[in-house]
A and B are shown apart, each in its own frame.
Chain A
Amino acid sequence: MYSAEIISPFVMLNLIIIAINIILAVSLNLVVGFTGQFSIGHAGFMALGAYASAIMSLNFNAPFIVSLLVGAIVAGIGGIIIGIPTLRLRGDYLAIATLGLAEIIRGVITNIDYLGGAYGLMGIPQRTNWLWAFGCMLVTVLVIKNFIQSSHGRACISVRENEIAAEAMGINTTKYKVIAFTMGSFFAGIGGALLAHYITFIEPNAFNFLKSFDILVMVVLGGQGSLTGSVVAAIVLTLISTFLQSLAELRLIIYAIILILVMLFRPQGLLGTHELSFKLLQRKRGVSHGSHSADA
């Protein structure tokens, strides 16, 4: 492929990781930022997607698109199964439940030999390239954006804003929480599958709480409720992470300090609830939405 010759492997790695992180951040933002549900176990769904797709490729020689979709669907189903009982919980309790369940997923994977146990799975065919990563990223952002900027997306936002009022206006809040959660996990699964087929090796520790935390930081830093924010934050944080790679502990210390400072001084993140690009695009296109532009 031409890309392999023109772009250095290092740059390519970064571009693909950035694309994957955008998928992860945007999908988590749907759950946390737009629907207001504290999910801090997103890596668990990544794991489901990564492992399911890896098994499809390794043991069933499935074509990449099939592995990808299987990974996403398994993650999505995980989202439904986990979502339905836990989304009754509020705030802190939901956070702890999602954390606990992500750890349980990890624990279960670690104990199943078919999935490689603690040693993980190796030799996954490297199918992810720039085209796949970028394509999936585009699809993810588009699907989520189209969902958000519709009546159903507004229903999710109303759950975040005031759940009791939303119910009173006829919104089945449980249904929309589960829908957002499932969509979020579906795309996290895609992210996991893409990662598995690029790094070619996955193990349970790659999907621990620190990974969930990384994604959460992107969402919060970018601005919950801003898709543009998540994209920007994913890019920025991936780059920072790359530069700090050699200083593993230092990176985390710096992350933690940045996080605390942002929470103290600008908790709405970089973009708050604004969508810069979309508004600009709409004005340029002169879309009929005109004065009724959706400022999600």
Chain B
Amino acid sequence: MNEFIQQLINGISVGSIYALIALGYTMVYGIIKLINFAHGDVYMLGAFAGLYATLVLKMSFVPALIFSMIVCAILGIIIERLAYRPLRNSPKIVILITAIGVSLFLEYTTMFFLGPQPRAFPEVFKHASYTLLGGKVTISNQEILIIAVTVILMILLQYIVHNTKIGKAMRAVSYDMQAARLMGINVDTTISITFALGSALAAAAGVLVGIYYNKVFPLMGIMFGLKAFVSAVLGGIGIIPGAMAGGFILGITESLVSGYGSSLYRDPVAFVILIIILLVKPSGLFGKNVREKV
């Protein structure tokens, strides 16, 4: 039982990361039906931004986090403006390829300038472990931090989406872009803000991962990005609570499989879940099947 709870805790912390990144995928897909391949790389750049903030600018954790989130929000807006907005009415495959192009560009430019070797985060705060249940289960303060930050950010996001005008605009545009435009909503701005929010969340995930795993490198966005994407699809791509649920489910499943089975099976879990979802219910757990109108 203790083993189980231990795995659960690990799963929830990893799952939080997946959820944070997945939110970006799902919000962008919900609003412009694009799988933003470059999103995982925004997460990577968030980690690097956090690294810069703590290492060079000597910021402490919270300011570094906010710095990174702002930098990536701006980056997300720039990417959307330059690469995706001009192609809004293009055939799907064109945008897909462009997104892949942006992703590769970010990865290899970073690698070109900063080298492929992993870098470590400076100690932003003292590592501490706490034990629960009479010493059988441990949780580190980093894991607590990850879960706490994730929960705070998710609550913030929910508030923005459901209790503000911009959130309403986001929901309107994802339902029907034309109608939203006719209602006077500035669709371009709404989309930019969506990208900004998603990128900020990914940045936060990047900083948290950087601190937790103590490894920041240019290709770190690939694995985590893919798993976050699977989480988004699992929950129902385009559906915000779905991304949150998907992230946690994937994280927990991975931990259990890795803990009870073998750590070799950890990565394939995401792929297997992806294939199952796509074959059984592509619209995801919370999704509805949308028919093409004939």
Contact = CB atoms under 8 A, between A and B. Distances in A.
Answer yes or no: A and B touching, Cβ < 8 Å.
yes
Interface of A: 32, 38, 85-86, 89, 91-93, 95-97, 100-101, 103-104, 107, 111, 164, 213, 216-217, 220, 224, 249-250, 252-253, 255-257, 259-260, 263-264, 267
A256 B105 contact: yes
Contact of B90 (A93, A100, A217, A267): A267
Given A96-B278, A263-B94, A267-B94, A253 B86 contact: no
Contacts, number: 94
Contacts of B279: 85-86
Given A85-B279, A267-B91, A164 B294 contact: yes
A23 B154 CA distance: 49
26 contacts: A38-B96, A85-B279, A89-B278, A89-B282, A92-B33, A92-B92, A92-B96, A95-B96, A101-B275, A107-B268, A111-B264, A164-B292, A249-B112, A250-B108, A253-B105, A253-B112, A255-B101, A255-B104, A256-B102, A259-B97, A259-B100, A260-B98, A260-B102, A263-B95, A264-B86, A267-B90
Given A89-B278, A93-B278, A97-B278, A256 B108 contact: yes
B108 A252 contact: yes
Interface of B: 33, 35, 83, 86-87, 90-98, 100-102, 104-105, 107-109, 111-112, 229, 233, 264, 267-268, 271, 274-275, 278-279, 282, 292, 294
B96 A257 contact: no
A100 B101 CA distance: 18
Contacts of B294: 164
Given A213-B100, A256-B101, 7 more contacts: A92-B92, A96-B35, A96-B229, A96-B233, A104-B271, A213-B104, A253-B112
A296 B35 CA distance: 30
B292 A107 contact: no
A89 B275 CA distance: 11
The 4 A-B pairs at the shortest CB distance, nearest first, are namely: A256-B105, A259-B101, A256-B104, A252-B108
Q: Main SS of chain B's interface residues? A: helix
Given A91-B92, A96-B278, A252-B104, A264 B109 contact: no
A255 B109 CA distance: 12
